[in-house]
Amino acid sequence: MLKSISDELTEYFKKYQIIRKLGEGGMGVVYQVFDPQLNRNLAVKVISSAGNSKISKRFLREVEITAQLDHPNIVKVYNSSVYNGKLFMVMEYIEGQTLKDHLETSSLSISQRVEMMIAVAKAIHYAHEKDIIHRDLKPDNIIVKKDGTPYLMDFGVAKMRTSKSLTATHESIGTPLYMSPEQANGSRKIDLRSDIYSFGVILYEVLCGHRMVAGDSTMNVLYNVINEKPVRPTTVNDEVPQILEDVCLKAVEKKKNKRYATMQELIADLQQYLNPQSEMLYFLRKKWSKYQKPCYIALILCFTLISILFVRQKYQAHLLSEYNKNIEERSRKFQEYVKNKQYNLAMQQLRKLSVSEDDYNYQLAHIMYQMGQREALETYEKIASPPKNDFLFRGKLLFLNEMYEDAIDEFEKQLNFIDRQYLALESDDKYAKKSLQESKRLTLGYMGESFFHLKIYDEAIKSLEETTNEKGFFLLGSSYFFKEEYSKAILFLNKANEKYAKNYHRCFRLAQCLLQGKAWKQAIPLLSICIDEQPWQAKLYKYRGQAYYDLGDYENSYNDFVKLSQLDAGTKNYNHGHSYVGYFLNIVISSENPKDHHKFAYRMINHLKGIYAAVDQDLLAEQKRVLYKGIVKPQFAPLDTKSLDHFIDILQQKNIRHKFYVWQSLVWRLWPIGQMFGND
């Protein structure tokens, strides 16, 4: 691929000699070439994605804007063209390093660093005078020659101030670490003060040797850009003069109207540091001899006043220091309580913190959510200005309140936000991409669970198809279970075998799937777990009794159906339990080994007689005559199957609770129990 590009470069620009490849990025390749006619080195940027409209527009914008700029500290563009589906741009070649690399390899004084940054600031001011806003200022876009001369480059995302809309709504342009708060928010109102902010962030890094904004993911960085105040430069590096700290902090104010209005104002303050002699000091020095005596008196008075003020300031500083230590200690305890899930203590500590009402309600809502309190949503809604793009947490609060449809709307907004952040990333930012992918999986997990509760199982499966945790496997398996796709249900329910090993719903659904496949032996332990969890559930004994019977374990099968009959007698639910007992007698009587199996039938009937003896009193005499007339024969008479069928039909129609009498009659007809067992 690279060879083909260099071949085409040689073919199209025959007058240039390709020296080497300088670098390769997401948009293309940059080569160093030599122009024999002018005897100079040049840089050629080759874009191999001319068919990509977004990349092409960015390339053409860079050519158009940079061509208007002629400044000693801005990389010049000499020519551009399109050939064979590729875009070419011929630029000035600068032999040097990026600003970051230059600072790491050079020992520069504070003054030398300021002089270099003034040159960069003048280049930015020149672009601003041309109504051009860079929008992507960062150390990688500043090249420094060996002699220390800086050059500003890469106007690919720059725009004219006269453009109708500098940024589409919610579209973040720039690099997160150096974005202004308005860029991070996706605001339309981007002006030259956004460049001033980005320059301030770079100046901070140049002076302190440390990045101003921290964050372990893109979303954390953007949140800190918008909400967190930077650490003072003198705290990071005590060699930074106060005047330079003031310049930095004014440039990076969160609100645009508090920053420098123009880059020229910022340059003036930086030059004041290099030439601190003001007109007032010069005037005092010139007039000193004339007003020496009065000045001595004034100096003594000033010294006395300053001493008093110093002592007072020292005392106030001591009080402030103690107060800040107290606040820091309370904040530390609060974070520790939250980390250890000591939420009641965390809430008590939160009340002691000096935070705004919105911050208090936001932190309180998080604690209440962790405690599973549905009122967390009500607390969150008290926040006058909730954090932007806080879709995931709001969705979780709605989910906690079983407002699943509203929660899904918030999760969809979160997914859209993640997609926008993903597109704004640099192509080689693997860590940030991984962080966004994890956030996406988490959001899809909540969305899938919401669809599951709404019984929209197809959407639940779609949301959970990339899950990697046991809860996701449990929900996937359960969704397939309710769709009656039992083989897939077994696959995913088996994956949830640690955290959900003894979960009632997981075990019951998995047992049902296994019973469908006649895997009785595997189903029995799962049904036993269910019985341990909910021993009052009659259906569990019925399913396990059937499984034991199909395995030939008649004793355990009999015991389960006896337990079932006892449960029904205790709850007076004769009609419900009666059908289960009848089911047992049916499978016993219809078996191929009647002699052995009828022993269990006989034991069951005698057991039932004791339990249901009082039930017969509930039947009216007229009902008995209708049901039994001409049907129940003497005990050893031949089996009247027609009458038996008719009797069963009547029982089904009348919903009568005495089916076991039918089975008793049937057992005595099929096998002479009296002869077999005597009086047992």
Type of residue numbered 72 = P
364 contacts: CB under 8 Å, gap ≥ 6: 347, 350, 379
How far, in Å, CA of 404 to CA of 568, rounded?
38
DSSP-assigned letter for residue 74: B
Cβ-contact 390, 432 below 8 angstroms: no
Q: What is the DSSP string of 520-554?
A: HHHHHHHHHHHHHH-TT-HHHHHHHHHHHHHHT-H
Our CA angle for 184, 185, 190, nearest 5°, is 80
Is 199 in contact with 137 (CB distance < 8 Å)? yes
End-to-end, the C-alpha distance of the chain in Å comes to: 93
Are 380 and 362 spatial neighbours (Cβ–Cβ below 8 Å)?
yes
How far apart CA 262 and CA 673 sit, in angstroms, is 108
266, 272, 273, 279 alpha-carbon torsion, rounded to 10°: -160
In whole angstroms, give the CA distance from residue 249 to residue 231: 9
Largest CA distance in the chain: 146
Dihedral (Cα; 544, 549, 554, 555), 10-degree rounding: 0
C-alpha of 194 from chain center: 28
Amino acid at 460: A
40-47 vs 86-92, strand pairing mode: antiparallel
512 Cβ contact list (under 8 Å, min separation 6)? 481, 486, 543
Distances (CA, A) of 310 to 245, 304, 323, 624: 22, 10, 19, 109
Annotated binding-site residue? 45: yes
The annotated binding site for ATP is made up of 45
